[in-house]
Structure 1
């Protein structure tokens, strides 16, 4: 959906993109994000406590966690949560909703986003949407349309991508049961483990088509300006000249001495604006899993898991057992 949405941040170029990022610069700082960590941890715990011994990691944990988090951070009241979740799941790349249904859902969602923004203008609080409304750069703030677009982008970009990394990361850990057990025994390893999950599994999609604006020299020759390319971030994060034994999954890879940063969140002007939020959500998701379900294991043959064929590539379901 975001690929065909011209106002989405990922589809903008300077000067509009530069202005947008400049205004938003202080909104997603680590200090702001850390204020929400206890609530994200609580939501993750509540979801795990609600599942039985056997459950689907996709439907019962990975999808509802980022949906609830972003709705709560934006100040969406709980009596509207299911409605908002219905809209967002309609826009998932794996959704079978028709084009007409998506168009109607988009219109309804944007109308609600405007209503939510107006309510926060008249009744300000300390939600993420209040930070968006207050965001300024030398007096320049976001217009109503830009605020609405940002709310839509946050819900969409932060929903499927984060959910996919939870599922892909869990599947990878279940393929390496000894490493899952090590995280359960040493939860302090969760933070570096998340970085390895992001490197090894991210970004979970084929990336965005881009047009080169000037000639670029690469090992295979010159790519001339005007060429349309599809950068492969997954390949970059598995470059043997950068990462030793890159196909090996190792939750300790990013412990100790500073390691080469991965590119799961991109690089340069389009580096993911919500990277700090996504990273914190993933840390709390996996911390909840390994501490509350230390004996988690797969209920099905992991080599036979059916994967989606949408823009974001992830298992359609992942059946697991608590212990």
Structure 2
């Protein structure tokens, strides 16, 4: 029997964390907007239907930063969260004031500095290198004893290698980034103080190294911009940008690959379609992002003015929480929304889902994530045609707002 939705949904509620599809889906059918709470207990409007979520993500009346709300003092929930998870006060600004939190001209200024590295043309040029890294990982996996943990041996190493090469993180430094980002994604107060300080100190060292020894990477380009024109990119913004690019550039892609592999192995009819017709792969990655994308809720927004949405009056300064997992399963938008269908194609232009966001803050690395997902998944199932789960019980990390596997034991079979 389906559980009753909480009277006042809390993003930290164990039921919503354990079953985000079901829990947020029931909230979606309960009402267009539901009054709930953010992790620190701040009241928020949970927006669960796709049309309304797209509005929140694209309408300038909803802003990312509390300081962008005019004419009223609004407490920043993100500042509270940074404190709650244990980030030291002297480092808080690196995590509460990033490109993800800026609005308007400030956001556009920072986005332009890195957007050229993520154009479709540049990402397409990266494909041979992505395929090379993928092939190397598959070769290594084939020599391991079974079962193989696909998350540790494949889903993580591929995207962290790609983004680190793009940004300019040395190979020997990547295990530390994996450890730091895991602490952040799990919101571990016991790990965060040390992780935050180590990460910040390390990025400062990277920046100084690039000042002395420029290289052909994104970090060098950003350092040169900062040196030439500090008004375009401050020293603190440079540090925040590096952290955002590296963490966001591998965490979500890693769990897209892990979640999607589990989805395909538990839906063999869909996997058979892809094996029979490999031209379906690009569209299948979009469908997998819709159906089992790792990001369950988007960054919260604030109403910059009084707004009516979904028949609800939202007052200026109130917190609005877009819920992606319920939006991407909204039956008002998708026929048989609960069914995984790798042949599904969006009715209009675009991807047909909000897994990468929407509007001004649409994910900069979406094209790279789609490419890595397509290359990784296709190569995996073609190299190991007898790939199978080694356990019937998936182990999900209990992280609010994210759906990620702790591990995915698989048997490769003869390749």
TM range (shorter): 0.7 to 0.9
Distance 1:177 1:135 in 2: 50
8 A contact 1:165–1:204 mirrored in 2: no
- Deviation, 1:142, is 2.2
CA–CA distance in structure 2, aligned partners of residues 255 and 227 of structure 1: 33
Map residues 30-109 of structure 1 onto 2, 5 A cutoff: 30-51=120-141, 52=144, 53-93=146-186, 98-99=189-190, 101-109=191-199
Task: Using the TM superposition, give the Cα deviation of residue 219 of structure 1 relative to its aligned residue in structure 2, in angstroms.
Answer: 3.4
How far the C-alpha of 1:141 sits from its partner, in A, is 3.6
Distance across 2 between alignment mates of 1:82 and 1:111: 16
Q: 2:214 aligns with which of 124, 140, 147?
A: 124
Gaps of at least 5 residues in structure 1 are: none
Deviation at 1:161, TM superposition (A): 1.4
Shift of 1:257: 8.1
- Report deviation, 1:155: 1.4
1:228 maps onto 2:319 in alignment: yes
Root-mean-square deviation over aligned CA pairs:
2.7
Describe the superposition over 1:56-82 as per-residue Cα deviations: whole angstroms up to 9, x where unpaired. 122221122222222222222223333
Shift of 1:177: 0.8
Structure index of larger Rg: 2
Query: Which whole-Å CA distance do the structure 1 matches of 2:352 and 2:374 have between them?
Result: 17
**1:6 and 1:12 in contact (8 A); partners too:** no
Which of 368, 377, 395 in structure 2 is aligned with 1:306?
395
Change (3 A) 1:284 1:260: closer
Task: Please state whether the residue corresponding to 1:250 is helix, strand or coil.
Answer: coil
Task: Find out whether 1:251 has 2:342 as its counterpart.
Answer: yes
Distance 1:131 1:279, change over 3 A: farther
SS state of the match for residue 341, structure 2? coil
Q: 1:44 to 1:242 in 2, by over 3 A?
A: same
- In structure 2, relative to structure 1, the CA distance for the partners of 1:267 and 1:30 (3 Å cut) is same
- Separation in 2, partners of 1:188, 1:133: 41
Relative to structure 1, the CA distance from residue 263 to residue 203 in structure 2 (aligned partners, 3 Å threshold; closer, same or farther) is farther
How far off is 1:263 after superposition?
0.8
The number of residues matched between the two structures is: 317
